[in-house]
Amino acid sequence: MPPGHRAKEAELELSGELELGELGEADMGHAPAGQAHARLKELKGNGQALPTMLARFKELRKSKSKGKRKEKKEKREADCEERVRKAQAEPVRSEAERSVAVKGGSFVWLRGELLGRGSLGSVWKGTNRQTGQTMAVKEVIIDNLDDSDKDFSQSLQVEIDLYKQLQHPNIVSYLGNDRIKDRFYIYLEYMQGGSVSQVLHREGPMSEPLIACYAQQLLQGLNYLHTREPLILHRDIKGGNILVGEKRTVKLADFGCSKRSEETCQHTLRGSIPWMAPEVMNERAYGRKADVWSLGCVFIEMVTAQPCLGGSVGGEGR
């Protein structure tokens, strides 16, 4: 393309960017768009300066985009740290408090032992007072005056909506949910063996036949998620989110990070770092293979009783 044409093309593209009022930042700090238009007029006679200026603008826009992603990531981390602080500050309930039935719209139940505690709240062993059924109850505190808690409440609803649609032998069953004052309860199938990470902590590395048995079941559960329409990405597969039941059964659990989408690729950063696929960590497009990577990390965890990329066993305390 002749130099004159290149200059004209660059001029037109820059003029379009100026309509957005952004070029002033690229060439003149935070100068108003009107001053940037004046600057463009000065450059019209210089065929070399226009393409250079356009390149500088594109570089700045790319840098700003990275900065916004970094800000969102830091906000998510800060929100998570605050939720961990709140969860840790929650007092351990006494025997007397646990003997009082919790009355919700779905169930009236008695609180049993504490099964786990993390950044999303606490998980209790519960007993349905009407039927005697044992269940796992996820309890989360929601502060309606806190904007981050409002967003979190929406993510809980996403988790519930996903659970309602899932029916597979290797996925933990959803039983119901309740909102009681500032508490949100999700009722789930109880798995008496605890998580894979807890089993590894108690008993050490697993045998090859047992790993093969668990692997087959987990792959069946993951295939079920990945063949839904639209597909479902778990996005947080790790030892702490795989539960063990009777007769050597295992089930995928905790869909708080999951995503159901028409798209085959996502860009949002979700999951636990020692089990996280490189493309997720680098915030590049990812899909089913990210879950497969995480599951491979779990198999290494089963063999060694240690996360393959460091961190605490099973990622407990998320």
The question of whether 236 is a catalytic residue gets the answer: yes
Distance of CA 108 to the CA centre of its chain: 31
**Helix (H) or strand (E) run with residue 17 in it:** helix 3-19
Q: Cα dihedral sign for 191, 195, 201, 204?
A: positive
For 180, the token pair is 């009681």
Amino acid identity of residue 77, one-letter, is: E
What are the tokens at 219? 């792959």
Distances (CA, A) of 196 to 5, 166, 214: 64, 21, 10
Catalytic residue among 79, 146, 182, 236: 236
**Which one, of 255, 232, 235, 233, lies nearest residue 243 by Cα?**
255
Residue 230 and residue 254: Cα distance in Å, rounded?
A: 19
Q: How many residues does the chain have?
A: 318
Identify the H or E element spanning 110: strand 108-118
- Report the alpha-carbon distance of residue 93 to residue 124 in Å, rounded: 11
Q: Which residue has the tokens 């519930």?
A: 160
Measure the CA–CA gap between 183 and 101, rounded to whole angstroms. Answer: 15
Nearest to 172 by CA among 118, 221, 126: 221
Q: Is the dihedral of CA 318, 139, 200, 254 positive or negative?
A: negative
Closest C-alpha among 233, 218, 217, 245 to residue 136: 245
Residues annotated as part of the active site:
236
